[in-house]
Amino acid sequence: MDWPDSADQLIEEQRILGDAQPEPWSPPDRTYSLAGCFVCFPRRHPGVGARDDPSWAGAALLSVDGSVATVVRPGTAGSSYQAGLLALREGPLLEAAIRGLPTRPEVLLVNATGRDHPRRAGLALHLGALLDLPSVGVTHRPLIARGNWPEPARGAHSPLLLDGETVGYWLSTRDGARPLAVHVAWRTDSAAALEVVLRVTAGRARTPEPIRLARQAAREARAVGGTPGRSGVS
C-alpha cells in the first residue's frame, strides 16, 4: 500500500479502509511496546498551511524494558491542511518517522482521528493499516463525532457518537483536566483504545507519553531548523 497523491485517490482509499474488517487486536495481559507520532510545521501566517511547508515528524517508542527511543525525520508537507484529508499532508512524514524507530512497536498512537471521519478512515486508521499496526487516535477534539464531556476524574469517559455508532470516547486522563478525544482506529475497538491511552497517561501529563515525547522531539528539531509550529486533525 502506498499513500495516495490526490484527494480523489485518498477518498477512494478511505472508503475501502472504512469498510474493511481487519482482525481485531486486544491489549495483551503483559507489558507491551507502544509508539507515538507527531508532526509540526513552521508558523508563518494565519491559515491552514501550504504544500511543501517544511516539516518535522517525530516518533517515540516505549519499549517493554522501559527504555525510550525517539527519532525525528524532516521533510515537506504533501498538501495544505484539509479536514478529512490529513493523510495527504502528513501521512508519508509520519510513516518515515515510525519506520525510523529502532524496533517495531506493538501498537501505535497517532495525533489524528480514526473512525471519527466522514468515511470512517482518518489518518490514525490509515497509518495503522499502511504499517500493519493496531492504532489509536488521540486528539484535543473530535472531527465530526459528538458527545458530552465526562466527569473531570481520571478514567472517566463518555462516548463519541457518529450516526449512532460509538467511534471513540472523551477520556479524562488527569483529575481536573480537560478530556482528550480517544479514537477507535485500525484493528482497535473502544475498549482497547481506552486501555492503551490510560496505560501511558499515568503521570502528570494529560497527553499520552509516546505522543508527548514525539511532539517534544519534533519541536526541538524544529527549534534548531525553524520556528514554532502547528499540526492538524483528521
For residue 53, the number of C-alpha atoms closer than 13 Å in the C-beta half-sphere is 30
Integer Cα distance of 224 and 227 in angstroms: 8
Integer Cα distance of 127 and 177 in angstroms: 29
Is residue 117 domain-resident? yes
**pLDDT at res. 229:** 41
Integer Cα distance of 97 and 166 in angstroms: 30
Is residue 60 domain-resident? yes
Phi, psi of 180 (to 5 degrees): -105, 155
CB count, 10 Å around CB of 10? 23
Confidence of residue 202 (pLDDT cuts 50, 70, 90): confident
Alpha helices in 100-208 (DSSP H): 123-131, 190-199
Convert the pLDDT of each residue in 10-19 to its tens digit. 999 999 999 9
Beta carbons of 94 and 105 less than 8 angstroms apart: no
pTM, whole model, 2 decimals? 0.94
Is residue 179 domain-resident? yes
Average pLDDT score over residue span 57-65: 97
Chain position carrying cell 487486536: 25
- Asked whether the predicted pLDDT for residue 135 surpasses 90, the reply is yes
DSSP three-state, residue 10 = helix
Instruction: Please give the share of the chain, as a percent, with pLDDT higher than 90.
Output: 89
Confidence of residue 228 (pLDDT cuts 50, 70, 90): very low
DSSP three-state, residue 80 = coil
Alpha helices in 37-134 (DSSP H): 86-99, 123-131
Integer Cα distance of 203 and 215 in angstroms: 17
- Asked whether the predicted pLDDT for residue 231 surpasses 70, the reply is no
Average pLDDT score over residue span 179-184: 98
Beta carbons of 143 and 116 less than 8 angstroms apart: yes
Please give the residue that has the higher pLDDT: either 1 or 51.
51
CB count, 10 Å around CB of 150? 16
Is residue 121 domain-resident? yes
Element (H, E) at 14: helix 7-19
Q: Is 144 left (phi over 0), alpha (psi -120 to 50) or beta?
A: alpha
Convert the pLDDT of each residue in 79-123 to its tens digit. 999 999 999 999 999 999 999 999 999 999 999 999 999 999 999
Query: Domain total for the chain?
Result: 1
CATH of the domain at 40: 3.30.2170.10
Domain range holding 143? Answer: 7-23+30-226
Angle of helix 123-131 relative to helix 7-19, nearest 10 degrees?
Answer: 80
Is residue 65 domain-resident? yes
DSSP single-letter state for residue 132: T
Is residue 151 domain-resident? yes
Integer Cα distance of 172 and 12 in angstroms: 34
Q: Is 27 left (phi over 0), alpha (psi -120 to 50) or beta?
A: beta
Confidence of residue 45 (pLDDT cuts 50, 70, 90): low
Confidence of residue 197 (pLDDT cuts 50, 70, 90): very high
**Averaged confidence pLDDT in the chain:** 93
**pLDDT at res. 46:** 61
**pLDDT at res. 14:** 98
Is residue 233 domain-resident? no
Is residue 231 domain-resident? no
